[in-house]
Chain A
Amino acid sequence: MKKISGFLAALLLSLPGFAQTTAFGYPTFTQTLTNGLKVVVCEKKDNPLVECEVWYRTGSKDEWDGVRGMAHMFEHMMFRGSRNYPGDGDVFIDSLESFGGQVNAYTTFDRTVYHETIPADKLMNVLKMEADRMGNLTLSQQTLDVERQVVGQELRNGQSNWFQRMQNQVYDHLYPEGHPYRVDVIGYLPQIVNFTTTQCQSFYDKFYAPNNAVLVLVGNVDHADAFAKAQEAFGPITKQLPPPPPVLAPDLYSDTLHQQEYSVDFPVQIYGYIIPKPAATDSDFFAFLLLKDLLFDNENSLLRTKLIDSLQLVYALQNGSDDWSLYPNLCQEYFIMPAAPGNVKVKKIIAAEINNILDDGIDETRIADYLDNLKARELKAAYNVENIASQLGMAEMYFHDFNQYARMREKMETLHSADLQRVAKKYFDPARLRVVNIKPSY
């Protein structure tokens, strides 16, 4: 036994330094390269795939006037070639798809994420591409001319959807000046179609660097091999960004009650219920999230059950905002109803449900059912490497610690009716409520 222990100890000591834990039941390791790129590797070896994700801590929150929509536009440019991967067209997509990868990216207020699902034996190919576009992106005016038309089209596609059109109108009045989320991620069309390569280069220089990113790998990988590959691919990138200056977002909570009227060219009416909500790192965040889900968003929520299933006063309840944010944000809930009669009855029922919570809290059984549902969904989510990577990435993004991926459920398991009551009193204060009434325009 002593000899065996000694052998095992020697084996462990011979491996490069890493931290080990588990995520979703799979061994998970992390290492930070000398250039600041944090690498998280989750060994899920039950199928032949790897999910590779690069999370950049930049989004539309980092834009400035004149370049509204740049973060998202730039995400498009990241697919158009780099020093060692030159060419016309979507060079990265073509390369990845040629060996069976599925590739995409997205941009939000806070983050831009480039993600690929690939056969495990192609990991090095992908890491080299990701590293090359992180460190050596090429920006040409010709490519920009095409791509800003494409993004302009993406914006117009949104305008071709009645709900999106309605939400765009409302959005213009939601945030105070200076708030990082004041302008929607897609930006402004007149600015998008006039972006220059100088502006793109400026954005790239300011926000794309290894110490502003996290690499997440989930799937059929060995952590030691993955770290070695990451070092080979990304290690040579020396570019560093200074720590970002703190942003003092204007206080959303001090806005007073106001009401806006809008119209929609669709045969429905909509009641918008808009409440300031805490940032992801706020101590109230998970309690707010739980309350919001129990009241509005989950399939079994109090208001869905009452307004849609039982009384049939509402067709649908649509959440119009991201749950997770670096800064205090606005929670937007839209109740979509028949065009007639008016929405007074619906408003009264919503107010009554909230008052019930303020007075009596929420039935603990509802909380228990919600947690059962959450655990079951987490179990099923573990099939998919992209789901796991997304959870790990979100935990890194908002808590700088991928181990916090289960934090939401763990925190919610400690919450009771009294906690939700406290949060309701703080955030569902009628003085802070914003209401938008949206009527059909014909």
Chain B
Amino acid sequence: MKKIFLSLLLLSTQRISAQNFPEIQTFTLKNGLRVFLLPFGQIPSCSVQLLVNCGRKNETPGQQDYSQLAADCLGFGTAKYNQTQLQSALFRLGTSLQANAGEQFTSIQAAFSEKQLAEGLSVFSEAVLHPAFPEKDIKQSISQLIDFNNPDKMDISDQASVFSNFWLFGAGSPLGRYFYKDQLMKVTADSLREFYQFNFTPRNSRLLLCGHFDAAAVQKMVEQYFGPWTAEFGEVNGVVLDRPVISKKEYAFIPHQGAVQCALEWMKMGPDPTSKDLLAFRAANQIFNDVIFKEIREKGGKTYGISSSYSVAQASPVIRINTMVRNEEMYNTIRLFDTTLQQFYARGITDAELKNAKTTLRNNWTMIQEPEAVMGFFNPLLFPRADLRKNYLQLVDGLTADEVNKAIKKYLNPDSYKLLIAGDENALASSLQHLPGLIRFHAKDIQVNQ
């Protein structure tokens, strides 16, 4: 009786009070593909992600959007499956291929039940390693890109995003160049295939599996399906891009006829993703994000949403503050932003703000529930040392107000930013004249090869 009572007690009180880091196993195939196994959770399911060190940063002039087009082609079929068959095979397995190219890398993901993992890896590897690059599907994709991304017609928030990059990085940088019709019409299956073959190589990629699985069995599956992957090219050496410099306040405008409101995008330069300032800055930016939300939305009622974002996941050092406001509120919002940033820069953070920021940063791990988020947290292209990643919570807990205040002084200077405005020129005319040195963009400005 005693034993049963005790065991009943144990069952009734068993809790997991902290999110445990997975015990990561890694190995490298003979072809150079590095593989990471991240056991996580009890649900009999496994997510798979191939990360390729290829993104917009790799696009030479004339290759705008090649990284995303190449990623899209992975879903267009292979020698073994046409597009419909590939889609059906994945559908029956309860998944689809999620292929997305960002600035720095491309991610291809799918998720399978544990008992269907072998079949799933067979289909997944077939799709990512043997794409057929069918001309017809590529042309259709390009046609849609052209229609949906007409710089005269796209929504103002998209316009702001496109032209802010163009302005910040310049047409000389792959991150500043944007695709346009004449350039896209020259894309062929062969040119995409060449881009894929150069960049999608075992040595230039990482394979992650996360979920519930038998590690030994999974290792054998990976060897079977990814072992034969060969490539003419090896690892693509690091692409070094010039870091933009923003040394004063600058204003630019892109017109959108008939817009009922305007989009505002402020840009500043934050730390490089490998900088030791990174965590302190993220805390600073989190606090700043809360401050501008409170001042501009909660108190000011100027907007439905405003946020200051800095993308660790995309390894981008650019701080972007985005919002949309009514045309008649444009200038007031800019002034309110200036005041808010000046006051924030001058005052230093409070203990409560530091505590909240640390809680939010801690949540980046403790609130994770799904394998996809675990893989994102341990992304080996962003965080080559998984063992250091496990120190994340200690690093957050160890952050001091002094470090965060220093990050504010270094990166959130109120006297320098670039502000891009997208909206109706007539409706904004009287406000725009207040902005000194305003640069006026036109849709055709992005139609450059270099």
Contacts and interface: CB of A to CB of B under 8 A. Distances in A.
Contacts of A88: 298-299
Given A265-B258, A338-B143, A309 B369 contact: no
Contacts of B360: 97, 100
B1 A369 contact: no
Contacts of B355: 98
Interface stretch (B59-67, B85-93, B186-194): B85-93
B186 to A, nearest CB: 19
Contacts of A171: none
A312 B371 CA distance: 34
A45 B92 contact: no
Interface in B25-71: 41-45
A220 B147 contact: no
A300 B356 contact: no
Interface in B12-26: 12, 14-19
Interface in A47-105: 47-49, 88-90, 97-100, 102
B294 interface: yes
A119 B369 CA distance: 12
B302 interface: yes
A156 B93 contact: no
Contact of A309 (B84, B116, B155): B84
A160 B366 contact: no
A46 B17 contact: no
B183 interface: no
Contacts of A89: 294, 298-299
Interface string A118-154: 0110000000000000000000000001111111011
A3 B1 contact: yes
Contact of A376 (B95, B157, B290, B298): B95
Contact of A300 (B88, B300, B325): B88
Nearest to A306: B84
A156 B326 contact: yes
Nearest to A374: B94
Contacts, number: 171
Interface residues of A, number: 65
Contacts of B272: none
Given A150-B304, A377-B94, A220 B84 contact: no
Contact of B92 (A3, A4, A100, A372): A372
B94 A379 contact: yes
Contacts of A376: 93-95, 112-113, 116
A133 B102 CA distance: 42
A222 B140 CA distance: 54
A350 to B, nearest CB: 18
A100 B304 contact: no
Contacts of B263: 160
B366 A48 contact: yes
A267 B84 CA distance: 27
Interface stretch (A201-209, A382-390, A421-429): A382-390
A175 interface: no
Interface in A102-121: 102, 117, 119-120
Interface string B293-307: 010011111111100
Interface in B376-434: none
A348 interface: no
Q: Among the interface residues B147, B299, B352, B370, which one has the most CB atoms of the partner chain A within 10 A?
A: B147
Contacts of B304: 150-151, 153-154, 157
Contact of A315 (B5, B19, B147, B367): B147
A391 interface: no
Contacts of B371: 383
B301 A380 contact: no
Interface in B170-194: none
A89 B301 CA distance: 10
Given A47-B16, A338-B143, A383-B369, A153 B87 contact: no
A404 B422 CA distance: 48
B369 A385 contact: yes
A300 B95 CA distance: 11
Contacts of A339: 147
Given A48-B19, A380-B43, A4 B94 contact: no
Interface string A372-410: 111111011011110000000000000000000000000
A382 B88 contact: no
Given A100-B362, A379-B44, A7 B1 contact: yes
B96 interface: yes
Contact of B299 (A120, A146, A156, A380): A146
Nearest to B77: A309
B91 A373 contact: yes
Given A369-B88, A376-B94, 20 more contacts: A45-B16, A48-B366, A89-B299, A119-B366, A149-B302, A153-B303, A156-B260, A156-B326, A160-B260, A265-B153, A265-B258, A267-B153, A268-B147, A268-B148, A300-B91, A305-B84, A312-B140, A338-B143, A339-B147, A376-B113
7 contacts: A88-B298, A117-B367, A153-B325, A312-B136, A338-B147, A373-B92, A380-B370
Interface of A: 3-4, 7, 11, 45-49, 88-90, 97-100, 102, 117, 119-120, 145-151, 153-154, 156-157, 159-162, 220, 222, 265-268, 298-300, 305, 309-310, 312, 315-316, 338-339, 369, 372-377, 379-380, 382-385
The 5 A-B residue pairs with the shortest CB-CB distance, nearest first, are A376-B94, A149-B301, A146-B301, A300-B91, A154-B304
